[in-house]
Amino acid sequence: MVDDLEGISVFLAVAEARSFRLAGERLGVTRSAVSQALQRLEDRLGVALVQRTTRSVSLTEAGEVFFAAVRPSVRQVRDAMQTVRDMQARPSGLLRITVSSIAESFLSGTLLAGFMQACPEIKLDITVTDDEFDIVETGFDAAVRLGEVIEQDMIAVSVSEPQRQCATASTAYLERHGGPRHPGELRNHACIGWRPRPDTAPYRWEFTENNRDFDVAVDPAVTTNDMGMMIRLACAGAGITFGMVETFQPYFDRGELVPLLEDFCPPFPGFYLYYPRRERQPLKLRALVEHIKRSGKRSDPSPRRIFTKQIRRLPTGRCAPY
């Protein structure tokens, strides 16, 4: 029985990761141990669950059927085990959180340091990434994103004040070319744009006028996926760029950049810690939510459900100086 349960956990990790190496990293064992445990499970079942090649791992037809059947049950068992652990009333275990790069600063520094001191038996695993994925499917307990890009029907707790975007350029650029008085004039300027990947179109700069949202498809002279490069080019006078005011604020304070088109850039909901609705939340996650409430980082009176109306694609970058 123990061997069966061990093999099922290994099989689920392989099926979700589609990789023996990644499954081993998730489970904290070697690739060889993963392969051996899976082989023992297949021997007991008398059928191959995984198709192995030198370059890829895929599920057989039997593997797909087995995966769909056991995955919900294993989740229920894990939830039940966590519930029993929670009865000890001491938050503990590994808390996995994914954070978008532009939101990373809201869950770092004193906030997390204070949480670690309050709950020393909880270990944190924080992944900073701008990739979009289902946090439940990938095994994360929670995530931090802008409220506008959170999946529907998630519980969300504010971790920041409202945010704002704006365009910006250096004084040298403005002295040579002047500044736009309306977002539509951006098409006549050298712009420094952002896109997350080479196979995607540049981000369309978003504005509001007379309570109406609109965007401008600028034709960037330079396009990159790195906010640090965007800022360096803007400071050097290469053109106008666009992003979060908080990211640009140190450069505004030093006079290296000048905010533009602020009348067309009202605030919008900020960053939220969000997690799936469950009948019984893990104690370790509840502890973090309560810590955020006590820290004063939130503006909502209570956790709430987020219903997305639109997707705002913001320039981000792990190298962005927050």
- For the stretch 37-85, pLDDT in tens is 999 999 988 999 998 876 778 999 999 999 998 888 887 877 777 677 6
CATH number, domain of 133, equals: 3.40.190.10
Q: Which two tokens stand for residue 197?
A: 């990947």
Asked whether residue 301 is assigned to any structural domain, the reply reads no
Exposed/middle/buried for residue 117 (C-beta within 10 Å: 0-12, 13-18, 19+): exposed
Collapsing DSSP states into helix, strand and coil, what is residue 276?
A: strand
Say whether both 72 and 121 belong to one domain.
Answer: no
Residue 50 sits in the same domain as residue 34: yes
CA proximity to 81, closest of 297, 320, 280, 303? 280
Same-domain pairing of 197 and 123 = no
The reply to whether 57 and 128 lie within a common domain is no
pLDDT in tens, 168-221: 999 999 999 999 999 999 999 999 999 877 888 898 999 999 999 999 999 999
The verdict on 41 and 102 lying in the same domain is: no
* Alpha helices (runs of H) in the chain, residue ranges in sequence order: 2-17, 20-27, 31-45, 61-86, 110-118, 171-177, 227-235, 245-253, 283-295
Q: pLDDT, tens digit, for every residue of 148-166?
A: 667 777 888 888 888 899 9
E strand or H helix that includes residue 306: strand 304-306
Which of 30, 59, 88 terminates a domain? The answer is: 88
> Do 141 and 223 have their domain in common?
no
Residue 81's domain spans which residues? 1-88
Domain tally for the chain?
A: 3
Distance of CA 105 to the CA centre of its chain: 12
Q: Which amino acid is at 1?
A: M
